[in-house]
């Protein structure tokens, strides 16, 4: 793909985010991006906090004017979702979650919904390397916020949570994914890194597990019901699911985005390595397959391009397709970016490419 300029994203006071440690600054840990379509702005999240930021598009090559913050932790807590439990179990102590490990955003094409997802990962305890990886409920959030009308947006739909997990977590830990269910994310355990939504159907891209050479993309269909309102949050119930296995050069999925009927897939290494990123396209079936899993024929996949990175950082993390200056562009955001991509500690310089 041909480079088509840059977009200066001015995060302002939100550049540091909710974590005071410099290495955990939001501007260095951006993990989800979604074009707001007719809202004339951009949604961003980072994996070190609990907020989604909405910024209005400015003139020239800038995105600025922070317009509204969506406090997901507050919305989820008000809806009875146990976001304040950092450990599993009904008797776990309540304390404010410092992060939700948000890893994906998606504005669906037909409805004014901003979908979000946490990583759903297990983490190895730092004090005891032999202890089993822990499941953290604050990382199991998945749902959407209705973005009709003017901000602030407070109408929420979310997956029903239980102390042992959620229905989405059950999908990620059964069937062909079951052998990897209790592994830490850095050891090829379940790790959601991207989401793409269309109506009451979502696709989740998994960074892990990579099963032999195959990456996993999970389709989940939710039961249709009344739309969420600020006074009545909607509980999302899973109606069906299917795991697609895709041979993507042995890489996992880092992000997803719909472009018409085709699904664009950003890939990268599983675990700590951050090189080997590429962009693929695939057209999922129009109808929901039966539960279980299937392998996508190689002829149905097309590699569009590769992105440069390094094993230590500056790795492509998330993207979306948008209209910019009257032209279709692919916006690319990197994790742990090179210092040359940050200006004055508050402006992130994102890359623009001609849309594939």
Residue spans of the domains in the chain: they are 3-354
Q: Note the pLDDT of residue 97.
A: 65
The position carrying tokens 């995105």 is: 63
Would the pTM of this model clear 0.85, i.e. be above it?
Answer: yes
Q: What is the rounded CA–CA span in Å between residue 103 and residue 93? A: 25
Confidence bin at 20 (pLDDT 50/70/90): confident
Q: Is 175 helix (H, G, I), strand (E, B) or coil?
A: helix
pLDDT at 268 over 60: yes
Of 113, 98, 111, the residue nearest 46 (C-alpha): 98
What is the per-residue pLDDT across 109-123, written as a single tens digit (0 to 9) for each?
Answer: 778 999 999 999 998
Q: Which residue has the tokens 């590769």?
A: 306
Q: What are the tens digits of pLDDT across the range 88-142?
A: 444 444 445 678 999 999 998 778 999 999 999 998 877 777 788 988 888 899 9
User: What's the whole-number mean pLDDT along residues 271-284?
Assistant: 84
Residue 310 has what DSSP assignment?
B
Which one has a higher pLDDT value, 104 or 81? Answer: 104
Q: Residues 66-78: pLDDT tens digits?
A: 778 999 988 988 8
Side by side, the strands of the sheet bearing 234-236 are 102-107, 113-118, 142-146, 156-159, 234-236
pLDDT band at 162 (very low <50, low <70, confident <90, very high): low
CA-to-CA separations, 224 to 157, 199, 263, 292, 318, in angstroms, rounded: 12, 9, 23, 21, 29
Q: Which fold has domain 3-354?
A: Tachylectin-2; Chain A (2.115.10)
pLDDT digits (tens, 9 = 90+) for 318-348: 999 998 888 999 999 999 999 999 999 999 9
Please answer whether residues 81 and 158 qualify as being in contact, where contact means their C-beta atoms are separated by less than 8 angstroms. yes
Tell me the C-alpha distance between 261 and 282, whole Å. Answer: 9
């Amino acid at each position: 793909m041909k480079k088509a300029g840059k977009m200066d994203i001015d995060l302002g006071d939100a550049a540091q985010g909710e974590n005071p440690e410099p290495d955990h600054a939001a501007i260095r840990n951006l993990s989800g991006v979604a074009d707001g379509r007719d809202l004339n702005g951009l949604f961003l999240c980072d994996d070190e906090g609990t907020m989604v930021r909405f910024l209005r598009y400015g003139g020239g090559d800038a995105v600025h004017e922070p317009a509204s913050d969506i406090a997901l932790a507050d919305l989820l807590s008000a809806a009875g979702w146990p976001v304040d439990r950092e450990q599993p179990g009904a008797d776990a102590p309540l304390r404010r979650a410092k992060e939700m490990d948000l890893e994906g955003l998606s504005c669906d094409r037909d409805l004014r919904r901003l979908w979000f997802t946490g990583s759903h990962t297990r983490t190895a305890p730092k004090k005891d390397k032999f202890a089993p990886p822990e499941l953290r409920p604050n990382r199991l959030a998945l749902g959407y916020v209705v973005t009709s009308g003017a901000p602030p947006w407070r109408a929420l739909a979310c997956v029903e949570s239980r102390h042992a997990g959620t229905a989405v977590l059950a999908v990620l830990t059964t069937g062909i994914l079951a052998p990897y269910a209790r592994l830490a994310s850095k050891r090829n355990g379940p790790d959601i890194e991207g989401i793409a939504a269309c109506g009451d159907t979502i696709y989740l891209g998994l960074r892990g597990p990579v099963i032999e050479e195959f990456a996993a993309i999970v389709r989940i269909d939710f039961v249709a019901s009344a739309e969420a309102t600020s006074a009545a949050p909607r509980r999302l119930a899973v109606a069906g699911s299917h795991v697609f296995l895709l041979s993507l050069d042995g890489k996992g999925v880092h992000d997803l985005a719909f472009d018409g009927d085709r699904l664009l897939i950003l890939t990268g290494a599983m675990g700590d390595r951050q090189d080997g990123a590429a962009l693929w396209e695939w057209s999922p079936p129009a109808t929901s397959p039966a539960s279980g899993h299937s392998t996508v024929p190689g002829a149905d996949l097309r590699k569009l391009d590769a992105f440069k990175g390094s094993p230590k950082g500056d790795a492509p993390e998330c993207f979306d397709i948008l209209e910019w200056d009257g032209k279709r562009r692919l916006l690319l955001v990197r994790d742990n970016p090179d210092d040359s991509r940050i200006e004055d500690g508050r402006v992130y310089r994102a890359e623009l490419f001609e849309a594939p």
